[in-house]
Amino acid sequence: MVRTPLVAGNWKMNFDHLEATYFVQKLVWLLRDAKFDYKRCEVALMPAFTALRSVEVLVEADNLKISYGAQTVSVTSQGAFTGDVSADMLAQLGCRYVIVGHSERRKYHPEDDANIVDQVRAVLAAGMQPILCVGESYEERRQGIELEFAVGQVKDVTRDLSQEEVGKLVVAYEPVWAIGTGMVATPQVAQDAARAIRAHVESAFGRGAAQTMRILYGGSVSSHNAQELISQSDVDGFLVGGASLDVEEFATIARLT
Ligand code: PEP
């Protein structure tokens, strides 16, 4: 089965709505100039909440082939939860994806596995796709338990999901030691983790779900390492942080994927 690669830019807390608009316009020009084939590789942007409406307007007005989504979501649907944004609100803005369980959310906010499972459910119920982030810390890698750890995180989140729900997940293997550090995983490390995650999904949910599931690599991806990483058979694209803030670099990564 051929999986369409996905290159998703996680802008984190960068770019206001004007900067986001400029970025999208420039990205589309660059990709048009490069005769980029959106059917060969999907491109997605994950702006801050405040820029989502601007991105939506632009994508709709110009019928752009860019997908977009949010960086987190509330587990509740409505009510007295100051500062939260619900999955339905995001779906109404045309979001296709929501990043769930990013290591920065796990670190700086009280997001544990139970909360992450609820986010996944909320995203799926609203008709969007979660990009579930998993990955070990440097310490777990040092102890040699990195695969067990990353697969364990996938197991914990998917345990009670149906086969159909799991089929809609995108998993991003993001070793914490590689995020924002410039220490990219070797292609073999990324492949081993992606393969282990896919093997677990196959044994728990069947070959169909495993073969459809896109597994991304994230952690210091750049135009210098994207080509080698994507040549690995179980790596289906990238979640790009820092390099997604430079439009030319991001366009190059998309072209190489
Ligand atoms: C990320 O935060 O999801 C990420 C992969 O960051 P970076 O590319 O900067 O390592």
Q: Does an H or E element contain 134, and which? A: strand 129-134
Q: CA 106, CA 116: separation in Å to the nearest integer?
A: 9
Buried b (16+ CB within 10 A) or exposed e, 14-51: bbebeebbebbeebbebbeeeebeeeebbbbbbbbeeb
Q: Would you say residue 97 lies in a domain?
A: yes
Q: What is the pLDDT of residue 92?
A: 98
Give the pLDDT means over successive 10-residue stretches in the chain (257 positions): 92 98 97 96 98 97 95 97 97 98 92 93 97 96 95 95 94 97 96 98 95 97 97 98 98 97
Q: Would you say residue 1 lies in a domain?
A: no
Q: Would you say residue 179 lies in a domain?
A: yes
The answer, yes or no, to whether any atom of ligand 1 lies below 6 A from the CB of 174, is: yes
Domain count for the chain: 1
Q: Would you say residue 122 lies in a domain?
A: yes
Q: Would you say residue 237 lies in a domain?
A: yes
Q: CA 182, CA 180: separation in Å to the nearest integer?
A: 6
CB 67 within 8 Å of CB 99: no
- Residue set of the binding site for substrate: 10-12, 180, 220, 241-242
Neighbouring-strand partners of residue 10? 46
The answer, yes or no, to whether any atom of ligand 1 lies below 6 A from the CB of 239, is: yes
185 CA from centroid of ligand 1 (Å): 12
Q: What's the predicted TM-score (pTM) here?
A: 0.96
CATH code of the domain covering residue 101: 3.20.20.70
72 lies in which domain range?
A: 6-256
Shortest CA distance to 186 belongs to which of 241, 232, 255? 232
CB 239 within 8 Å of CB 218: yes
Q: CA 74, CA 83: separation in Å to the nearest integer?
A: 9
Q: Would you say residue 74 lies in a domain?
A: yes
Q: Would you say residue 241 lies in a domain?
A: yes
